[in-house]
Structure 1
Amino acid sequence: MGQITTVLLDVGGILLLPTTSVWQAAVAHAGIEPTGEQLRRAHYAATAAMDASGDVDLDLYRRVVAQRCGVTDEFTAQVLAELDEHFTGEAWLQRAPQAKEGIERLLAAGYRVGIVSNSVGTVAEMLVTAGVCQAGAGDLVPVEVVIDSAVVGVRKPDPAIFGFALDHMGVTAAETAYLGDTARADVDGARLAGLRPIHFDPYGDCPDPAGDHEHLQRFDRLSELLTG
């Protein structure tokens, strides 16, 4: 890959995480009170399980999170029914660790930054609500563009979704890296688009063969990886 000038970021798992209170309310039916860190750990384990299955299987995702939180078979159906009702695309308002700091460090290092997310049409508002960033100038950390799949009508891993950000920013795929937390949607999609794919994998859960793609464990260390 050539010199990277631009970084595009996923949102779920990178900048935002599932809202802790939504999951806590659901698993409370099983008499369990998971901490925010336990839920964060469960999120990445469940994401890796979907990657291994080769599909975006939200039922599998929810089952794995519930299991990792300690929900037994006796309570699984009740917990999943609660999640079906309340765990929607907008239940992602928990700011991820290093979210603001990671973007700030990229900007300070001279990288241009944009967002490309599979979402429900409100990801820009969600990022503002969570106090992470906004497109353009404002009270929060600025990024150049926020691409929401529901708005542009294309979802990762379709490589076409990255073109909206590249065209808006006036940059090429060869000079752009993409950071996401899934191997199938993010790494595969970015690779097809000609971007440098980097898998955010804080616990080493990736099911793909070693050496298939780059990994990162802390978002605020991305600039060091890009220049290392």
Structure 2
Amino acid sequence: MNSGRPRAVLLDAGFTLTFCDGTSIAAVARDAGVLVAAQALEDAEAPLRREISSYVWATTATDQSESKRKSGPAFYRRMLELAHAAGTSNDLDIAAAAIWSQHLRRNLWRRVGWGVDAAMTRLRAAGIKLAVVSNSEGTIEAMLEEVGLRRHLDAVFDSWVVGVAKPDPGIFKLALAHLGVTEKQAIMVGDTPAVDIVGAQAAGVKAILIDPYDLHPAAEVPRFTDLAAFVQALLADQ
């Protein structure tokens, strides 16, 4: 990357910083009568990413509640299927609803990605401001605190809390204003083109796509396998 160092980096959370905690999800499923391996749930990430557009929740503040109510259980139902969970169709429905309910209480996307903590440490050491911009359910900041990533961040913008969701450029503009930077001084890093990339670009912010499975070869933005690879490229050129 040769475009100069940004003053701020905006970060998506799920599939960028943190990933599904298979152990916690498997425990909830077990309590609901469905057996599934924790590793199989985490391995379902790749096929889930291929289907993620079906579960892109809420594009505006007004439809968040209804959209998430419908999409949340469906997302976890599909995860259970991909992980070859043992149970009838009705069993999977019940388990998926239980997982979603637990996620609303305690965010289950709490497995920190490889190299994430070190990458965020490097960005902070370089004097770059950091903020999470996430379509979440009001639990993202507490989860980031619990897993040790909140200490790196200047701010967290949870769509449920601020009332506007990606790809609406409004949530990006809130982050920019809080950090005291212009759109040209920031970069957004996320994994979902229709939400992270489109939204950032609508706000005038340069976007970076995390694409570990090469799902978006035609994307017209720089792509990296993970946050660590992006940070290495960003800081290596300075």
Query: Normalised by the shorter chain, which TM-score bucket?
Result: 0.7 to 0.9
Quote the Cα distance in structure 2 between the aligned partners of 1:60 and 1:86.
Answer: 11
Q: Match of 1:150? A: 160
Distance 1:34 1:210, change over 3 A: same
97, 120, 125: which is aligned to 1:84? 97
AA in 2 matched with 1:83: A
Quote the Cα distance in structure 2 between the aligned partners of 1:10 and 1:2.
Answer: 21
RMSD over aligned Cα atoms: 2.6
Q: Match of 1:139? A: none
Q: Match of 2:202? A: 192
Quote the Cα distance in structure 1 between the aligned partners of 2:18 and 2:82.
Answer: 20
Distance 1:31 1:54, change over 3 A: closer
Per-residue deviation, 1:77: 3.3
The answer to whether 1:103 aligns with 2:128 is: no
Structure 2, unaligned runs of 5 or more: 58-70
AA in 2 matched with 1:151: V
- 8 A Cα contact 1:118 1:155, kept in partner: yes
Distance 1:214 1:58, change over 3 A: farther
Quote the Cα distance in structure 2 between the aligned partners of 1:100 and 1:179.
Answer: 15
Q: Match of 2:222? A: 214
Q: Match of 1:127? A: 144
Distance 1:128 1:55, change over 3 A: closer
- 8 A Cα contact 2:73 2:96, kept in partner: no
For 1:56-75, what aligned pairs fall within 5 Å after superposition? 56=57, 57-71=71-85, 75=88
Q: Match of 2:27? A: 25
- 8 A Cα contact 1:203 1:217, kept in partner: yes
AA in 2 matched with 1:99: V
How many equivalent pairs are there? 215
Per-residue deviation, 1:217: 0.8
AA in 2 matched with 1:100: D
Structure 1, unaligned runs of 5 or more: 135-141
The answer to whether 1:169 aligns with 2:179 is: yes
Distance 1:211 1:17, change over 3 A: closer
Quote the Cα distance in structure 1 between the aligned partners of 2:122 and 2:47.
Answer: 27
Q: Residue by residue, what CA displacement relative to the aligned partner does 1:95-144 show, whole Å, maximum 9, x if unpaired?
A: 2322211211222334221111112223221111112223xxxxxxx321
Q: Match of 2:60? A: none
Q: Match of 1:203? A: 213
AA in 2 matched with 1:75: T
**Structure number having the greater helix percentage:** 2
Q: Secondary structure at the match of 2:49?
A: helix
Q: Match of 1:225? A: 233
Distance 1:45 1:110, change over 3 A: farther
AA in 1 matched with 2:36: I
Per-residue deviation, 1:82: 1.0
Quote the Cα distance in structure 2 between the aligned partners of 1:27 and 1:60.
Answer: 14
Q: Secondary structure at the match of 1:14?
A: coil
- Structure 1 segments, 4+ long, off by >6 Å, are none
- 8 A Cα contact 2:19 2:110, kept in partner: yes
